[in-house]
Amino acid sequence: MEYSPLLLSQALSIGARETVPLLVAVAIGMGVYVLYTIFTARDARAERRLDKFSKMSTGEGGGESSNAERLQILLQKAAPALAKPLTPQSEEEQSELRLKLMSAGWRGENAPSTYLGIKFGCLLVGLLIALTVIVPTYGMTSNGLMYGLLVAGVSFYLPGIFVWLRIKSRKTQIFCGLPDALDLMVVCVEAGLGLDAAMRKVAEEMARSFPIISEEFSICNFQLQMGRPRREVLHDLGLRTGVDDMKSLAAILIQADRFGSSIGTALRVQSDSMRTRRKQLAEEKAAKTAVQLIFPLVLFIFPAIFIVLVGPAALQIMDNYLTMKTE
């Protein structure tokens, strides 16, 4: 049985169109899995080695590393080569990138190279999808090139969007939990504890309710134990989180430590001002609700009401018109 070239090309195009959603779903799933595997593993390489040695010393058995750890190690090895085309040349851009990743919660030494490597890898995956799926489906036309560039661009900016969402989430959690942390710190300071002990107590007590604040204060306690000056530690705390309230808190604590003023009073004033600001933001959002409800009312509710009210009259007018026309 012979097939004409036209029928063969149509069959291939139909088969390619049917496989496009499946391939796109598989590529998106693989990308999400890779991002989740990398960004949820917060332990540094030294911590993993310490865990391994502790398991060996306790007799639990090191065992073989899981697939996630193997994938992470493989990406860490391949990240410097992939990140080389996107690595910033100036020190200012490198510091901005490192600060951005620190605000997102990734403070490892290889975090910038890993992030840039993932970004370049996503670009390659997007280009691969464009060349293997979109271009054979639509051909070398303007639509095919446009869709291919769109897929490559979305794949390239996907890690940046993920980092931005994580930074926003962390800032929101720090902003919501900081007044409670300050209240607990005020109680600890007024009970006779020093600032370092109060921060350690806050990190222990808020590990479940606000783990991000507990993590930041734990880092500060660790740096203080290592011998860093308190002024530098508090300054890095405000700079690392990127929250304005945390920066103002660090400035107040630095000023109180320099001039010897009461830390408890400064913390209480800062806590009251932060609660007032949070209350004002809640009232502002409540005031905007009435304006924001206009759009769903107009788009979804008003057409239904219009159909219910005007529909019977419109049908009656149409019936009368048809009867008059027939007569």
**Residues 119, 159 contacting (CB under 8 angstroms):** yes
Quick check: is 125 in a domain?
yes
Q: Which carries the bigger pLDDT value, residue 37 or residue 179?
A: 179
Domain-terminating residue out of 146, 166, 186 = 166
Do 153 and 180 sit in the same domain of this protein?
A: no
pLDDT of 2: 44
Residues 200 and 146 in one domain: no
Q: Which residue shows structure tokens 């070239």?
A: 5
Same domain? For 16 and 153 the reply is yes
Instruction: Assess if residue 198 is contained within a domain.
Output: yes
> Could you tell me if residue 189 is inside a domain?
yes
Alpha carbon of residue 80 to chain centroid: 23
Residue bearing tokens 């779903």: 25
Both 121 and 96 in a single domain? yes
Q: Do 76 and 120 sit in the same domain of this protein? A: yes
- Look at residues 166, 201, 232 and tell me which one is the last residue of a structural domain: 166
Q: Do 117 and 80 form a contact (C-beta atoms < 8 A)?
A: yes
| Separation between Cα atoms, residue 28 and residue 100, nearest integer Å | 25
**In the predicted structure, residue 49 carries a pLDDT above the cut 60:** no
Give residues with Cβ within 8 angstroms of 158, minimum separation 6. Answer: 31, 35, 122
Instruction: Indicate whether 314 belongs to any domain.
Output: no
- pLDDT score at 295: 83
Angle at which helices 211-225 and 195-205 cross, to 10°: 140
Between CA 124 and CA 126 the distance in angstroms is 5
DSSP, collapsed to helix, strand or coil, labels residue 315 as helix
- Rounded distance between C-alpha atoms, residue 40 and residue 166, angstroms: 11
Cα separation, 98 vs 88, in Å, equals 11
Which of 114, 134, 166 marks a domain boundary? Answer: 166
* 122 shares its domain with 221: no
Strands (E), the chain: none
Cβ-contact 96, 57 below 8 angstroms: no
Question: Do 193 and 270 belong together in one domain?
Answer: yes
Q: Which domain holds residue 277?
A: 172-288
**Within a domain: 315:** no
Residue 69 CA to residue 72 CA, distance in Å, equals: 5
Residue type at 121?
G
50: pLDDT strictly greater than 70: no
Whether residues 188 and 236 share a domain: the answer is yes
User: pLDDT digits over 234-253, tens only?
Assistant: 888 888 888 888 888 888 88
Q: Are residues 96 and 160 in the same domain?
A: yes
| Rounded-to-integer distance, Cα 58 and Cα 258, Å | 46
Residue 123 included in any domain: yes
pLDDT one-digit tens code per residue, 80-116: 666 677 777 778 888 888 888 888 888 877 788 888 8
Structure tokens at 160: 């940046």
Q: Examine the domain organization and report whether 106 and 120 are in the same domain.
A: yes
Residue 323 located in a structural domain: no
59, part of any domain? no
Q: In the predicted model, is pLDDT for residue 190 greater than 70?
A: yes
What is the pLDDT at residue 56? 47
In this structure, what CATH number is given to the domain that contains residue 280? 1.20.81
Count of structural domains, the chain: 2
Q: Name the pTM for this structure.
A: 0.64
> What's at 65, amino acid-wise?
S
Give which of 226, 233, 227 is closest to 257, Cα–Cα: 233
The full DSSP string for 248-286 is HHHHHHHHHHHHT--HHHHHHHHHHHHHHHHHHHHHHHH
Tokens 């058995």 appear where? 61
- Are 137 and 102 in contact, with CB atoms under 8 Å apart? no
Q: How many CB atoms lie within 10 A of CB 35?
A: 16
Residue partners of 74: CB distance under 8 A and separation at least 6 = none
Task: Examine the domain organization and report whether 85 and 106 are in the same domain.
Answer: yes
Q: Are residues 231 and 245 in the same domain?
A: yes
CA distance 215 to 209: 12
pLDDT band of residue 59 (cuts 50, 70, 90) is: very low
Burial (CB count within 10 angstroms: exposed 0-12, middle 13-18, buried 19+), residue 151:
buried
